[in-house]
Structure formats: structure tokens, C-alpha cells
Amino acid sequence: MTLSDLYDKIKSHLAAIGAIAVVVLIMVAKYSSFMIDFLTKKSKAEVDAATKQAAFLKAQEDQDNLEANALIKRANELSAEQKPVQDDWYKAKK
């Protein structure tokens, strides 16, 4: 049996293996493209959700700051209305 006889026997198998290899390479390329698209869309959705959450938290923080400033202003007004504490506040009154 010579090398050419061996080649004649397996050449159809080699062609099939080559075709399968090409199909596998195409599938890998398509899978990679699909995964890139999927991850890109998922990342964009996460960024959009985080942006929405950040805007909500910023609005809440601004509202809390307004309320805190109003409380500080009211506390300052109350302290102006009150009499100062005497130095002998801890002594019993006679």
C-alpha cells in the first residue's frame, strides 16, 4: 500500500473533516458576535438603570438638604427667642 493509495482512501474523510472545521469556525465567530451584542445590550441596560437610580438619589438628597436647611434655620430662630442659661442653673432655687 502506497501513500497515494492511502490518500485516495481517506480523501473524502479529509474533505468532510475540513468542512466540519469550517462550520465550527463559522459557529464560533457567530457565537462571539452574538455574545458581544448580548453583553453590550446588557451593559447599556445596567448603565441606564444606574443613571436612573443616581438621578432619583440626587433628587432625594436635594430634598433632604432643603429640609435640613429649614430645620437649621428654625433652630437658629428658636435659640434667638430663648433666654440664655444662667451660670448657676444647677443650684437649687431659694
pLDDT recorded at residue 1: 75
Residues 35-69 have pLDDT tens digits of 999 999 999 999 999 999 999 999 999 999 999 99
pLDDT recorded at residue 8: 80
How much is the pTM?
0.53
pLDDT recorded at residue 39: 96
Q: Output the CA torsion 47→51→56→59 (10° steps).
A: 160
Alpha-carbon gap, residue 63 to 70, rounded angstroms:
11
Q: What is the DSSP letter of 88?
A: T
Is the confidence at residue 28, as pLDDT, over 80?
yes
Mean pLDDT of the chain: 90
The pLDDT-based confidence of 21 (bands split at 50, 70, 90) is very high
